[in-house]
Structure 1
Amino acid sequence: MNHVFQKIDNSLSVALKGFMNVSEIEWGIERQDFINACTVNKDLYEDMYVYEFTDAHHFNEFTRLLSHVSDEVAKEYAAKHGKILSREVSKKFELMLMLSAIGNLEYSQMVADEVYTCIMKHDLSEFIDGFAKKVYLREKAKEIARKPRNKYHEQAIKIAKATWQAFPGASMGKLCEKLRNHFNGGVSLDTLERWIKAAKIRPPKPEKYTSFSLMIPPSA
């Protein structure tokens, strides 16, 4: 089912690209101060954590507290009314801001796209899991429906493969005839030929066709 999740990841990445625009970041401090806080003065500060607010009211109130009251009060408000994101997302967010602070907007935007995709994947995780499961089951059902349902299919392919391994000069037509006789007419020549072509087990055309006998492996 991993390929289903990969398709969803790719679709989200494309759909959310540029949704968080780093060129619109409003810096409340000097950029160099931020760079110093993340590098040479890192030991003087707590680790950065990112909070997500699900509505504009709480976000606006958090912004007001941060600007007009204090960092501590704003942090307490965020912890109560927001949702703290994972450490991994917080580190990527910090990297995004660092790249933006030094003027590398191209790479900053790339990280921003990844961060926002991570956030949305987390928020939509239950929906994605359910959707992926439905897609996977639907694909499996289609795969099963495409498979030949004749009870002789698997045996015919095994016998044909074993026979060609022993007699690479056996012709397709004669092989199908012997298989039909082996199954007492239970499978038509056209069906046998179609199965063998679909299985792609036919060896290269020989310089000369030779006589042969069917090779019946134990598993057949």
Structure 2
Amino acid sequence: MTQTLTGSATVDEVMAALAALEDPKARAINESHGDDHGVNLGKLRAVAKQLKTQQELSRELWKTGDTAARLVALLICRPKAFESAELDAMLREARVPKVHDWFVNYVVRKSPHAEELRRGWFADPDPVVASAGWALTSERVTKNPEGLDLPGLLDTIEAEMKDAPDRLQWAMNNCLAQIGITHHELRARAIGIGERLEVLKDYPTPPNCTSPFAPIWITEIVRRQQEA
């Protein structure tokens, strides 16, 4: 990095620091995953660590529309400081996969508006927005399932996951797996749905990693839990 950033850093100074970290190899790797930036994520996190928490700077960085700047923005914001409507608008702007993922995981999940937004996003006609609703639903499946219609979720997954767009399909598949892992009374049905739909059955999985194919994923995680 060409400069040390402080709590009084401006948007221009942050943008200059990120530009100095631009790496063609990192960009090629990121772009292969649909992320249009060329900054190593470890170095990007180091920029955010220097800046610490700055809500207004976070908002200004988000407004730039630059992917690397938005990732920094998500790391330095105060999740509880956003209003519901602001979070909804930000999600609809977050089309880059890494920005979308960090936004849901680092900001929305920590927001007091998370459940309200989950319900609104879950059946949104925009599949990218709906995928955020499903991601939040998966968290409720594992941490706070009371009030959720789990058999109804399985009905929707069985009917819609096969033909869903990629990001929504991935989120629905994760929900399927979490239902099977954490709710033993629905495990056989969840595995059966995965076997019939064959979603992500042939997904390339590195050695020593668990396949995202739901029947394999469920079975492996349950086995580990039973052996622990």
Query: Which is richer in helix?
Result: 2
What TM-score bracket applies, with the shorter chain setting the length? under 0.3
Point out which structure has higher relative CO (alpha carbons under 8 A, 6+ apart).
Answer: 1
Give the TM-score of the pair, scaled to structure 2.
Answer: 0.19
Q: Which has the larger radius of gyration?
A: 1
Give the TM-score of the pair, scaled to structure 1.
Answer: 0.20
